[in-house]
Every structure is written in structure tokens, then in C-alpha cells.
Amino acid sequence: MKTKDAYRQAMEMENRLMSTSSHLAAEKLQAFAEVKNHGSLSEIRELVEQAGRDVLEYGFVEGLIMGNANEEIAVSMTESLVQTLELKRNFDTTCTWGAYVPDKALGKEITLKKDHANPNDDNNALTLFLYFDENNPKTNAYGSVLSQMISQKFFDSLRTKQQFGYIVSSYLNQISGRLTGMGFLVQTGKSLSEARTAVNLFIDETWERMLKVDPEEVEKYKNAVLQLLKKKYVRLEEEYRDMQREVDRRRFQWDIKREVIAEVEDMNAESLVKFVRDYCVNAPRIYSEVARGGGDFSEDALKEENPSYTLETIDEWRVGKDKSVWETRIDGGIDGIESKM
């Protein structure tokens, strides 16, 4: 952690707030440390054996099979594995995980902040997640086009003209595949106040410009996105990766690509302006600031009226000590064995 770049720490903090998995990385490290520091060899062996028993007791088989296998073969392969391992749990549900936006962030802005873990690095880092909505074909399509329209302009403004540093980018950010918004990232030797002011000014000016967008510009970037989306798979493993992503993200939206293409094809300047007005102009802003030695946080992050939180606060939310903070919960799952042939 101490050698990680500031921007990586900022991105991890952002994901730590909104992404959910079975256990936090910090929780896993703590468990390993407890085993290492307090367990004898025999105790460790017993823990490993118990973990094996737990797998057989609570585990189930989940698979994605593509190629020449039909549904009958796929189910037979799965059942064979279950019988070989002597798994005791029926395949009646899938584990789910998702992404969450704390209600403290909805309709306003919050700041996550931490000191840089590397005292020898003079860089600060700022990320901003501009939350649009849950992931669906519409937000995916409009977010993709907006990302194409904005990313190069953001780089030219902050990197080329304002000289904030080499790591400057904006992108469509789909937190855990569940939340959609625009991500902005700056790692810089300048202060976080300067970086935050520059990012906010760029965003505000961008939305103002987008409300008067030229229809020809929309068509230009629409076509660029469609070209990427309609690119045919060359190898089976390319299509498999897309399908596996739906499994990994627990969305199981097998036709999401086709639906996004349809949304982009129907898009025009008028509908894009409406999306910007409805989803972007007043979108919640979640900032992550990583400050070099001395706590060089932005002025906004230090204002009493602006809520700001640390890693400890995030972990309290995540373990459920303050269950009321979760305003949006997006869970997904399937029953039985799903197939797509």
C-alpha cells in the first residue's frame, strides 16, 4: 500500500464505499494476520480442514458454458461436478453482490479523504464519481456517448492547457457493473483545491455546452460508439469474456449489448439534452481525495457544511453499523441453472 500511486488509492477508496463483495480486502488481511500471529501449526491445519468442510457444506456449482454444448450437456456436466464433490447445498440461488450509493450523497456532494500512504510521493490525487443512475441500457448508452464527447476535452483542458500532470482522465464509470456515472481522475503536484476547482469548472461548463449541443456533433460521437459496439467477435473467447462479465457482476443481462445499441441508434440531440438535464446537471458528486504529507486536502473537503468521511467511516457503513445510509441497493440473482444457447 505504501508504494501505491496516489490515484490508485483514491480509486480504491471510491470503490470501497460503493462496491460490495463478500469481504473487504482489509478484513481478509486481518484474518490472515490473526491466523499467522496466534495459531500453532496444528491450529492452522484445523482451520484449513474446516474451510474444506465448509466448502462442501455451503458451496455450489456455477458455470458459464459456451460452444458446441447444448443445454442437456451443460446441465449434465454441472450435475456430474456436484456429485463428484459431494456438495450438500442445492443449486437454488446465486450469491449476489452489488453497488450502493449512500443517501448522504444523493442530491448533493460528499468527500472521502485519506493521507497519502507514501510519505516520499509529492503527488495529490482526486477522483470524482458523478452518479447518473442504476446501470441500464439507457444510462449505459448515453453515458458511453457522453464519455466519448468529454474525455479528450477533459484531458486537453487539465493536462495540456492547465498542466496538472500526466495522469488526467475521464471515463464512463460503472461501479461493479451496477451504478453508472462519469469518472474524473487527476493526479497532480498541484494542490487538491486547485484540482477540485478545475474539475468542477470543467464539468459545469461542459453541461452548459451540452444543453446547446450541435446535432452534427451528436451524430459524430454516436457513430463512433456504434462502431465499437457493433464490432464483431473474432474469437469465441471474446464473446465468452463479455458473458462472463455479466456473471461476475451479477447482472445476467445477456442482451445488454443489443439493448444499448438500440438506445444509441435512437439517440438524437434533443434526447441527449434531456438526459443531461435529467441525470447530469444535478448529479450527486462523490469525491475521493488522497493528500500528500501534511494533509493537503481541498478547501471544500475541510468546510464544516460539506460532509467528508474517512476509511473508518466507510467501513462502519459497510459492516452495517449505520444501515440507514444505504439509499440505493441493487441486487441481482437467478434461480436454477441459466442457459443461453
pLDDT tens track of the chain, all 341 residues?
Answer: 556 899 999 998 888 777 765 555 666 777 777 777 766 778 878 888 888 888 777 777 777 888 888 888 888 888 888 788 877 766 544 555 555 555 555 557 888 888 898 888 899 999 999 999 888 899 999 999 999 999 999 999 999 999 998 899 999 988 766 788 999 999 999 999 999 999 999 999 999 999 999 999 999 999 999 999 999 989 988 888 888 888 777 777 888 899 999 999 999 999 999 999 999 998 989 899 999 876 778 888 877 666 677 776 766 665 543 333 333 333 332 233 233 32
State how beta strands 285-291 and 109-115 pair: parallel
Q: Report in angstroms the alpha-carbon separations of 331 from 47, 280, 315.
A: 31, 24, 20
Q: In the beta sheet, which residues pair with residue 134? A: 179
Burial 91-106 (b: 16+ CB within 10 A, else e): eeebeebbbbbbebbe
CA pair distance 140, 263, nearest whole angstrom:
9
Contacts of residue 77, defined as CB under 8 A and 6 or more positions apart, other chains included, come to: 63, 65, 69
Q: What's the confidence (pLDDT) of residue 127?
A: 95
State how beta strands 179-188 and 124-134 pair: antiparallel
Q: At the fourth CATH level, which superfamily is domain 6-19+97-329? A: Metalloenzyme, LuxS/M16 peptidase-like (3.30.830.10)
Positions of E strands within 59-136: 100-102, 109-115, 124-134
pTM (predicted TM-score): 0.79
CA pair distance 212, 9, nearest whole angstrom:
37
Grid cell at residue 129: 464519481
Helices (H), the chain: 6-18, 25-38, 41-58, 71-85, 137-155, 192-210, 215-229, 236-248, 256-266, 269-275, 299-302, 311-318
Q: What's the confidence (pLDDT) of residue 228?
A: 93
- The string of DSSP codes covering 160-211 is IIS---SEEEEEEEEETTTEEEEEEEEEESS-HHHHHHHHHHHHHHHHHHHT
DSSP 132: E
Nearest to residue 300, comparing CAs of 211, 148, 165, 196? 196
- Asked if residue 84 lies in contact with residue 99, where contact means CB atoms within 8 angstroms, the answer is no
Q: What's the confidence (pLDDT) of residue 340?
A: 30
Residue with cell 449505459: 140
Q: What's the confidence (pLDDT) of residue 155?
A: 96
Give the CA diameter of the chain.
71
Q: What's the confidence (pLDDT) of residue 91?
A: 54
- Asked if residue 189 lies in contact with residue 122, where contact means CB atoms within 8 angstroms, the answer is yes
Q: What's the confidence (pLDDT) of residue 140?
A: 93
Q: What's the confidence (pLDDT) of residue 103?
A: 55
